[in-house]
Amino acid sequence: MTDVHSTAPLARKRPPIPLSVKLALGFVALFVMFALFGHLLTPHGFRETSLFHRLEPPGSEGYWLGTDARGRDLFARLVTGAQITLVVAIVGTVIGAVLGSLLGIMAGAQRGKTEAVIVAAIDVQASLPIIIVALFMLAMFDNSFTLFLLLVGLNGWEVYARLMRGATLQAKESGYVTAVRALGATPARIYLRHVLPNILNIALVQFTVNLPLTILLETALSFLGLGVQPPLTSLGQIMSEGRDRLMTAWWLTLLPGAIIFCLALSVSMIGDWLRDRLDPTLRSER
């Protein structure tokens, strides 16, 4: 008698999420909750000053994480800084992802002069360090928050364009696209319904790779005084304000620096894990 269970195909179980990735996901979730609801945990505003409470150390009465040289509550400023850093990181990365992905798909779909112009723009962008371009633009023009967001958004768009161009060229020659084209489908339907869904995971993985780079770029520019400007604040700006007091008020630089480090590291670990899960070549090797 044939055993039914012996002939049934074994369901392939997904590998468990590593502990390091779980910790990274937990920290990112905690950071988002801190940015959204942290202001409920302090009675002070991020611009509220008190000359009687200047440079209070962490653990002081009424100030959990201490105060800065103007007597402003560091906890409240970290909450606002986390909000601004989160907005800049997400919006800036989305701008680069959308711009680069669209140009990459256009280059792969149109070929000819359109592809040549886009590839030339990719090469120019890759040869210009984005931080140098951002320093020049922010120094020459009015340093508005909108301009800063656009400049941060240009970070890494050429990587998206190259990846999506290669993926589009490969997908448009695949068997299923050839069959759909032979059935008379329009180019718009082919790319929107068949090509884009099959290459979208590439942009998603690259998004998680670019996100920590965007965070570090915002931090560097704000630390140099060319990023987020008062009355707004960011984690990089808070670090910059405390750099002259490393020995006497270490919490002004160490605490925002630790948050930035853990956030960038956590997002990078999540990105590596997503790449391993979504890359079909790596999946087949498991």
Least confident of 142-156, 209-223, 271-285: 271-285
Sorted by where each starts, the structural domains of the chain and their CATH numbers stand as 31-38+49-284 (1.10.3720.10)
C-alpha 225/C-alpha 237 separation (Å) is: 7
Entry pTM = 0.82
Taking a C-beta distance cutoff of 8 angstroms, is the pair 84, 148 a contact?
A: no
User: Tens digits of per-residue pLDDT, 239-253?
Assistant: 888 888 888 889 999
Sign of the torsion formed by the C-alpha atoms of 76, 82, 85 and 88: negative
Q: Provide the mean pLDDT of the chain.
A: 83
Question: Looking at residue 94, what is its pLDDT?
Answer: 92
C-alpha 90/C-alpha 104 separation (Å) is: 21
Q: 107 exposed, middle or buried (CB, 10 Å; 0-12, 13-18, 19+)?
A: buried
Question: Looking at residue 279, what is its pLDDT?
Answer: 62
pLDDT at residue 2 greater than cutoff 70: no
pLDDT, average across residues 127-140: 79
* Residues of the chain above pLDDT 70, percent: 92
Q: Compute the residue count for the chain.
A: 286
SS3 60: strand
Amino acid at the residue 105: I
